[in-house]
Structure 1
Amino acid sequence: MEVIGVDRRWWALGALVTSMLVLGFDLTILNVALPAIADDLGASTGEAQWTADAYVVFFAALMLPAGLVGDRFGRRRTLLAGLGIFLAGSVLGALADDVATVIAARAVMGVGGAFVMPLALSVLPTLFTEPAERTKAVGAVSAASALGMPLGPILGGWLLDHYWWGSIFLLNVPMVALGIAACLLLLPESRDPAAPRVDPLATAATVLGLGALVFGVIEAPVRGWGDPLVVGAFALGAAAVAGLVGRERRSVRPMLDPALLSDRAFLLPALTATLVTLVASGLLFTLPLQLQTVLGYDALGTGVRLLPLMLGPVAAAKAVPPLAARFGPYAVMSAGLVVISFAAFLGSRGGPDDGYGFVALWLSVLSLGFGFAIVSAMDTALGSLPTDRAGSGSGLLMTLRQAGAAIGVAVFGSLLASVFAARLDTSRLPEAVAERAEESVVAAHRVAAELGDPALTGAAADAFSRGMSLTLLVCGIAALAAAPAVAALAPARKGTDREAVRRKGTDPAAHPAGPDPADRSGREGRTAVDTPGTDAPQ
């Protein structure tokens, strides 16, 4: 293994920080550009959903096999390949002149991102062998990914106010090129020849299952829930997921560890984190449309007004540990879900005439709920893992959350599109024009501008607001139903050293903070340090 000097190590860390910052941007930067893309390219709501979900589907499905590829064939080499793929997708997106090309570009970026995310963290133990230095390095890389999420909408909004929508893709080019150059010059190569082999069938089943389920949810409002293609997509997705679980159960060294799904101490917080990620990702897809098309803010103003969603997790990071120690982590999770429910019910009472003050109020409350639920859920899930399952467990947790992000965008967008089309009054318009207007709120505004019909603009805003109200109502019901379930099904609190020894398999004092990022038992155990969602506030 190549050894590099102290100064060069920190320069190499800078390259990794840059790479993770770009991934953080791209989790959220597209959201503020969706109205501009829809307006310029004539994208329907379903097509806009695919521009967001194409990235997340491939990112979620390929992250685990990508990490295994890096472990077996070289982490530096695989990281460089991921950055190169991401760069190619960014260039394709910047040059795109139709929706299909944008979706393809996002898919390519998702493939690249799946290789970058796990490998960026997995090379840190090679660079920093001292625990104190390694902790600082992991924190820097994790912070870069988390920082990119709130900055994405703001930076994207500024670019859209000054340049065309393709600039949000072009931004990646110099930053990724810098990351590639720095990795080439500064990163040493490392690998783990004992890592499990990549299972092509399991990987294909993951992509096929998640993609088919998302396709069914997105296409159902347009084609109908009974349409053969939609029913077939759901059947295919369910069969692929069932086949994946069956194959992984029979595998000696599975990519995903199905046995963990029978462990309530892991499953319950993992499902809570997935639910919160689903809700947050869906809102990050729909809220920019409301702020821009209904409330009339520009792209930069929209990005700034999304910041309240990022404040709750910051506050929760400090508040959750003492509260969990006193009342138990499951009580904190339940409380967070109740707060999410209250905020969603409050937001569902809004209308097109409400200003941003009301939106900021329920967004701030919602953010607190997100923070308390997700921080306690992630800490509890990771803390429940024995050392020998740290890798497979954290990998399964990340995959569930990313799948939740993809499904959240699909479900929220489809529900919103259904309500919008049903509520928009187009009876006085010619049939062809009415069909155009019903595609999306952006399309309706475009038709209203062509016809000089302000009444249609007002009707579109009202129909969209009704759709947003229903989606928030569904969120509130889901969170309210989950809160007592989490509290009722919570395992009994175990605070003895004997229990800690049984779970961790060693002296609890030796592992006070959960899985060691440098643990060789699983590459994914290092990726779970930062757990960025597509999505979601952390």
Structure 2
Amino acid sequence: MRPTPVRVRPTPVRRWLALGALSLAMLTVGLDMTVLNIALPTLARDLHAGTSALQWFSTAYTLTLAGVMLPAGALGDRFGRKKFVFGALVVFGAASIWCAFASSSGELILARVVLGVAASVLMSLSMGMIPVLFPDPAERGRATTVWITAVTLGMPLGPIVGGLLLDHFWWGSVFLVNIPTVVIGALAVGLLVPETRSRTRRPIDPVSVLLSAAGLVGLTYGLIRFGDKGWGDGTAWAAFAAGLVLIVGFVAWERTREHALADLGLFGDRGFRMGTFFQLINAFAMFGLFFTVPLYFQSVLGVDSLGSGLRMLPMIGGLLVASNFLEGLRDRIGLKPTLMIGFGVLAVGMGLGALTGVDTSYGYVAAWMVVVGLGIGLVLPTSMALAVGALTPERAGAGSALLSALRQAAGTTGVAVLGTVLSTRYHSELGSLNHEPVSDGVGSGVAYADAIGDASVLHHVRSAFVSGMDLLMVVCAAIAVVGLLLSAAATKGRATESGAPAPASESAPVA
């Protein structure tokens, strides 16, 4: 006879400590999205890696991250979220060690695939633990702010951490930095987090798993290749089209299943629908910005990768400041006005960024980056709180996985689309210089100008890039204005209904 599950509710101190450890682990996941970029020249030399291998070092992680999210959420709901998060932390640590000591390009790519699988499980289910650990809507909102801030901070911190490590150690150190956070996270999960799973033992449909994973990988690979090769690339269109067909087939298949892998019924909740949409448009603009600004620092201001990372600190500072006073603001004026203010601040910051010139001082750039950071720090946690507020403990894993997968897809789309906006303007502004190697990109253009020693060519190349970046900023500002208008049109009362605490009986805590 099976024992009756015992309800275990962690004390306030235990659950906040658990959240801190999970957030530290998520900071590492975000960091791993960008930390490798600074090590690519060293990897090319030490592992004799060609251009294709260098691209796959990053792409392998991103593709796996996208493809595994939905199955990870469903598996955690069915078999236990704690054990999957704990296992993912262990695998993440082991894969980090494998990456650090890889002796060939192929071995590093395989290790990055395993790292991506673990990161995907962590991203899906660590967020899914928030409704379980924090059933009170007010605490849940604060916990969501901490979690999403950690994820967001990891990306701009990657070049800083990577640069500091590479100045003193070998390239493998950029992966070994993960180990302390993984150990802390695993201990915290093992000691502080109760095991929970869905009471409904939903079967895992292999057809749904294959369709969702293959579809998301196809879409993501196509978008990555669009950003790299341009919109005329046949392989990119084939991958994107195949991914789109598979995703459409996945949605159609899910509608016929009694126990769906992706809980599409969540979109019937106004809070989840609104929060997800605001997350997507913010991710679209934010990922594009994170992709572009470091290029500006390196190619226009002429700093190295570490210097580029350090110059992102004003944005990080703005984000942290906003996160610190967000809860008080949200409690006083509500979710809708906070979103309106956040999108307004973001639009102003992007608009100021669009006025950047080739000879603009870094002081001006730092100022608008602070404003952008403030906007992101207001919009991202607030929109996340709207979406997470709709997740009962019963639906926590699958719902979090769906939100994470959509946010990742929106960010990848933003890099591809906004990168095309920048590239198109760059080529049009080059004029007579629109030929190889200058047309390959601003990095190649600057290297060419330096090689021939022509200051006028260098200024022309940099001016063309800044013109493209300014147009990109205008597009991002317009996206923020759309968010402002839509948040203004939302009904405050209905938008916050999802904050109601979930019934405790919907999830089965297990001793």
Q: TM-score range by the shorter chain?
A: 0.7 to 0.9
Counterpart residue type for residue 159 of structure 1 = L
- For the residue of structure 2 that corresponds to 1:349, the secondary structure is coil
Cα drift, residue 14 of structure 1? 7.5
- For the residue of structure 2 that corresponds to 1:493, the secondary structure is helix
Q: After superposition, where does 1:155-174 map in structure 2 within 5 Å? A: 155-173=161-179
Would you say the 8 A contact 2:67–2:212 is kept in 1?
Answer: yes
Task: Give the match for residue 9 of structure 2.
Answer: none
Task: Give the match for residue 508 of structure 1.
Answer: none
Q: After superposition, where does 1:498-509 map in structure 2 within 5 Å? A: none
For residues 144 and 272 of structure 2, what CA distance do their matches in structure 1 show? Answer: 24
Task: Give the match for residue 248 of structure 2.
Answer: 242
Distance change >3 Å, CA 245–CA 447, structure 1 → 2? same
Would you say the 8 A contact 1:27–1:149 is kept in 2?
Answer: yes
Task: Give the match for residue 536 of structure 1.
Answer: none
Would you say the 8 A contact 1:12–1:183 is kept in 2?
Answer: no
Distance change >3 Å, CA 13–CA 266, structure 1 → 2? closer
- CA RMSD, 1 decimal: 4.8
For residues 494 and 256 of structure 2, what CA distance do their matches in structure 1 show? Answer: 32
Identity of aligned residues (%): 35
Cα drift, residue 472 of structure 1? 1.2
Task: Give the match for residue 122 of structure 2.
Answer: 116
Cα drift, residue 375 of structure 1? 3.1
For residues 125 and 145 of structure 1, what CA distance do their matches in structure 2 show? Answer: 18
The answer to whether the aligner puts 1:208 opposite 2:209 as a matched pair is no
The answer to whether the aligner puts 1:37 opposite 2:40 as a matched pair is yes
Between 1:33-42 and 1:208-217, the stretch displaced more is 33-42
Would you say the 8 A contact 1:28–1:284 is kept in 2?
Answer: no
For residues 377 and 393 of structure 2, what CA distance do their matches in structure 1 show? Answer: 27
Cα drift, residue 72 of structure 1? 4.2
The answer to whether the aligner puts 1:267 opposite 2:276 as a matched pair is no
Distance change >3 Å, CA 421–CA 287, structure 1 → 2? same
- For the residue of structure 2 that corresponds to 1:369, the secondary structure is helix
Counterpart residue type for residue 116 of structure 1 = L
Match for residue 220 of structure 1 among 226, 250, 273: 226
Task: Give the match for residue 478 of structure 2.
Answer: 477
TM-score, scaled relative to structure 2: 0.77
Cα drift, residue 447 of structure 1? 4.6
For residues 421 and 258 of structure 1, what CA distance do their matches in structure 2 show? Answer: 42
- For the residue of structure 1 that corresponds to 2:202, the secondary structure is coil
Task: Give the match for residue 27 of structure 1.
Answer: 30
Cα drift, residue 276 of structure 1? 0.8
Counterpart residue type for residue 28 of structure 1 = L
Distance change >3 Å, CA 14–CA 415, structure 1 → 2? same
- For the residue of structure 2 that corresponds to 1:68, the secondary structure is helix
Cα drift, residue 296 of structure 1? 2.6
**1:143-193 deviations in whole A, cap 9, x for unaligned?**
866765665443233223334544322322465467668878998977668
For residues 14 and 29 of structure 1, what CA distance do their matches in structure 2 show? Answer: 23
Would you say the 8 A contact 1:31–1:153 is kept in 2?
Answer: yes
Distance change >3 Å, CA 178–CA 477, structure 1 → 2? closer
Distance change >3 Å, CA 418–CA 200, structure 1 → 2? farther
Would you say the 8 A contact 1:256–1:392 is kept in 2?
Answer: yes
Would you say the 8 A contact 1:35–1:442 is kept in 2?
Answer: no
Unpaired segments ≥5 residues, structure 1:
4-8, 505-512, 524-538
Would you say the 8 A contact 2:144–2:384 is kept in 1?
Answer: no
Unpaired segments ≥5 residues, structure 2:
7-11
Would you say the 8 A contact 1:294–1:461 is kept in 2?
Answer: yes
Counterpart residue type for residue 484 of structure 2 = A
For residues 367 and 347 of structure 2, what CA distance do their matches in structure 1 show? Answer: 14
Task: Give the match for residue 281 of structure 1.
Answer: 287
Q: After superposition, where does 1:418-429 map in structure 2 within 5 Å? A: 418-421=424-427, 423-424=429-430, 427=433
For residues 329 and 41 of structure 1, what CA distance do their matches in structure 2 show? Answer: 48
**1:281-338 deviations in whole A, cap 9, x for unaligned?**
2222222222233213344433332223234444444655565566553343233223
Between 1:82-91 and 1:444-453, the stretch displaced more is 444-453
Distance change >3 Å, CA 50–CA 414, structure 1 → 2? farther
Would you say the 8 A contact 2:340–2:487 is kept in 1?
Answer: yes
Task: Give the match for residue 58 of structure 1.
Answer: 64
Would you say the 8 A contact 2:284–2:414 is kept in 1?
Answer: yes
For residues 75 and 481 of structure 1, what CA distance do their matches in structure 2 show? Answer: 36
Distance change >3 Å, CA 459–CA 25, structure 1 → 2? farther
**1:18-75 deviations in whole A, cap 9, x for unaligned?**
5652431341355365355268639999988865564344334423422433454455
For residues 122 and 325 of structure 1, what CA distance do their matches in structure 2 show? Answer: 23
Distance change >3 Å, CA 290–CA 144, structure 1 → 2? closer
